[in-house]
């Protein structure tokens, strides 16, 4: 699936601080906090997730091994993932990048797009399918804990519902899992994409919370429901809650008000974070005339 020479030449030419903006010929399919999803002209059938996080090739290969372990176990738990492959690309004087190549899925079949097209009952069925898939992960965790425990980010934009009825999960680039209760992902990798002047604050205030939220069914379902607000479908929150609440113990059921409050505070945090990243990019590229390795989204309507 990966043409290494083409990928290497892409990485060599890439100017991440300009990618996706007017005048750049690089096509961005999606923006993550730490990964950016690119389309390369050489292979239209593949989505390339770039993670420019590593100081050595060995570190990147280690991450790739964790990635394979994680995706293998997600599949074992009962998720369907697109076919994938990894490659480490190292260009002198820059961070080592890991690319995760994934079979490219049609943009119109992503669930955050589908919820704008389907009628309410079909959206409900979609939420049911997603919630069921997530529950496979919780079931796997309760069978295998404390030896193995998988984290998952259940957001609506991480699921693809194909016309043939298959539901695929794409957001696999952050392999978070615990072995014997110990988190295996180095949290400092999360911080690599944050401005240096913010890292101490993030370490202090957010890191533990972010690292644990994806293991907790209630938080993951909360994220899924709150995500509907971000996608402009607040009207579907109640519908989604009536679905996910069936998967939660009675004492843990989610309410619409709580979801909206959670969404509002999340929005403030992420918008502020993005603003500081833009500032950091400006200082690095304009003031110091250096490279900035991450691709930031343009204005996001929330
Ligand atoms: N295989 C794929 N085919 C086509 N588009 C994709 C594919 N994978 C991701 N995308 C697009 O990129 C977006 C973000 O991808 P993904 O969920 O993998 O990363 P993320 O959530 O941004 O990652 P991060 O964990 O770094 O925050 C998706 O919502 C989708 O629009
Ligand atoms: Mg995602």
Can you give the CATH number for the domain in which 97 is found?
3.30.200
Same domain, 212 and 88: no
The verdict on residue 33 lying in a domain is: yes
**Tens digit of each residue's pLDDT (9 = 90 or more) over 114-148:** 999 999 999 999 999 999 999 999 999 999 999 99
Residue 271 pLDDT more than 60? yes
Same domain, 89 and 109: no
pLDDT of residue 264: 93
Same domain, 133 and 224: yes
**Tens digit of each residue's pLDDT (9 = 90 or more) over 39-64:** 998 778 999 999 998 999 999 999 99
> Among all ligands shown, which has an atom nearest to the Cα of 113?
1
pLDDT of residue 299: 63
| Ligand 1 pocket member 104 (CB < 6 A) | yes
- For residues 152 and 220, the answer to whether their CB atoms sit within 8 Å is yes
Q: Which one of 104, 119, 148 terminates a domain?
A: 104
Same domain, 217 and 145: yes
How remote is the CA of residue 166 from the centroid of ligand 2, in Å? 18
pLDDT of residue 208: 86
Residue minimizing CA distance to atom 15 of ligand 1: 30
The verdict on residue 300 lying in a domain is: no
Same domain, 151 and 53: no
Measured over the CA atoms of residue 228, residue 231, residue 236 and residue 239, the dihedral's sign is negative
Same domain, 142 and 266: yes
Q: CA–CA separation, 86 vs 102, rounded Å?
A: 9
Q: Quick one: average pLDDT of 224-234? A: 95
**Tens digit of each residue's pLDDT (9 = 90 or more) over 74-108:** 999 999 999 999 999 999 999 999 999 999 999 99
Same domain, 180 and 91: no
pLDDT of residue 1: 85
The verdict on residue 232 lying in a domain is: yes
Q: Which one of 69, 104, 139 terminates a domain?
A: 104
Number of domains in the chain: 2
Q: Could you list which residues have their CB under 5 Å from ion ligand 2?
A: 158, 171
pLDDT of residue 181: 96
| Ligand 1 pocket member 37 (CB < 6 A) | yes
**Tens digit of each residue's pLDDT (9 = 90 or more) over 149-205:** 999 999 999 999 999 999 999 999 999 999 999 999 998 888 888 899 889 888 888
How remote is the CA of residue 250 from the centroid of ligand 1, in Å? 33
Write the DSSP string, the chain.
---HHHHHHHHHH--TTTTTSTT--PEEEEE-SS-EEEEETTEEEEEEEEEEEESSHHHHHHHHHHHHHHHHHHHHHT-B---EEEEEE--TTS-EEEEEEEEPPPGGGBHHHHTTTS-HHHHHHHHHHHHHHHHHHHHHHHHHTTTEEE-----GGGEEE-TTS-EEE---SS--EEETTEE-S-HHHHHTTS-GGGHHHHHHHTHHHHHHHTT-HHHHHHHHHHHHHHTT-GGGHHHHHHHHGGGS-GGG---HHHHHHHHHHHHHHHHHHHHHHHHHHHIIIIIS------PPPS----
Q: Quick one: average pLDDT of 193-218? A: 89
pLDDT of residue 298: 78
pLDDT of residue 301: 52
The verdict on residue 13 lying in a domain is: yes
How remote is the CA of residue 251 from the centroid of ligand 1, in Å? 33
How remote is the CA of residue 171 from the centroid of ligand 2, in Å? 5
How remote is the CA of residue 288 from the centroid of ligand 1, in Å? 31
Tokens of 105: 């899925």
pLDDT of residue 75: 98
The verdict on residue 215 lying in a domain is: yes
Q: CA–CA separation, 243 vs 130, rounded Å?
A: 10
Tokens of 187: 């949290």
Instruction: Identify the domain containing residue 202 by its residue range.
Output: 105-291
Q: 16, 34, 53, 171: which to mutate for ligand 1, most atoms within 8 A of CB?
A: 171
Residue minimizing CA distance to atom 11 of ligand 1: 30
pLDDT above 90 coverage of the chain, percent? 78
How remote is the CA of residue 156 from the centroid of ligand 2, in Å? 8
Same domain, 89 and 161: no
Residue minimizing CA distance to atom 13 of ligand 1: 30
Same domain, 286 and 238: yes
Same domain, 38 and 170: no
The verdict on residue 302 lying in a domain is: no
> Among all ligands shown, which has an atom nearest to the Cα of 32?
1
The verdict on residue 298 lying in a domain is: no
pLDDT of residue 300: 56
pLDDT of residue 302: 52
Residue 37 pLDDT more than 90? yes
pTM: 0.94
Q: Which one of 86, 104, 122 terminates a domain?
A: 104
Same domain, 131 and 84: no
Q: How many of the other CB atoms lie within 10 Å of CB of 178?
A: 20
Closest approach atom of ligand 1 to CA 157: 29
pLDDT of residue 94: 92
Same domain, 42 and 181: no
């Amino acid at each position: 699936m990966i043409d290494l020479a083409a990928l290497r030449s892409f990485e060599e030419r890439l100017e991440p601080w300009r990618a996706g903006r007017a005048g750049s010929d690089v096509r961005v399919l999606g923006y993550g906090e730490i990964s950016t999803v690119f389309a390369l002209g050489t292979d239209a059938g593949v989505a390339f997730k770039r993670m420019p996080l590593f100081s050595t090739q060995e570190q990147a290969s280690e991450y790739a091994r964790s990635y394979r372990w994680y995706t293998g176990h997600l599949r074992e738990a009962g998720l369907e993932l697109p076919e994938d492959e990894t490659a480490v690309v190292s260009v002198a004087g820059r961070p080592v990048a890991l690319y995760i190549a994934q079979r490219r899925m049609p943009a119109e079949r992503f669930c955050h797009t589908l919820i704008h097209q389907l009628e309410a009952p079909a959206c409900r069925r979609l939420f049911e399918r997603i919630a069921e898939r997530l529950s496979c992960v919780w079931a796997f965790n309760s069978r295998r804990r404390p030896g193995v425990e998988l984290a998952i980010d259940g957001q609506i934009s991480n699921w693809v519902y194909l016309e043939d009825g298959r539901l695929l999960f794409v957001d696999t680039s952050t392999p978070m899992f615990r072995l014997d209760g110990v988190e295996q992902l180095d949290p400092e990798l999360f911080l690599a994409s944050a401005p240096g002047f913010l890292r101490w604050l993030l370490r202090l205030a957010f890191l533990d919370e972010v690292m644990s939220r994806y293991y907790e069914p209630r938080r993951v379902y909360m994220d899924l429901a709150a995500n509907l607000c971000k996608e402009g479908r607040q009207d579907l929150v109640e519908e989604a809650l009536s679905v996910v609440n069936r998967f939660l113990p009675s004492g843990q059921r989610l309410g619409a008000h709580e979801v909206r409050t959670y969404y509002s505070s999340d929005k403030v945090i992420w918008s502020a974070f993005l603003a500081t990243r833009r500032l950091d990019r400006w200082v690095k590229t304009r003031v110091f005339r250096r490279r900035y390795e991450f691709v930031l989204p343009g204005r996001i309507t929330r």
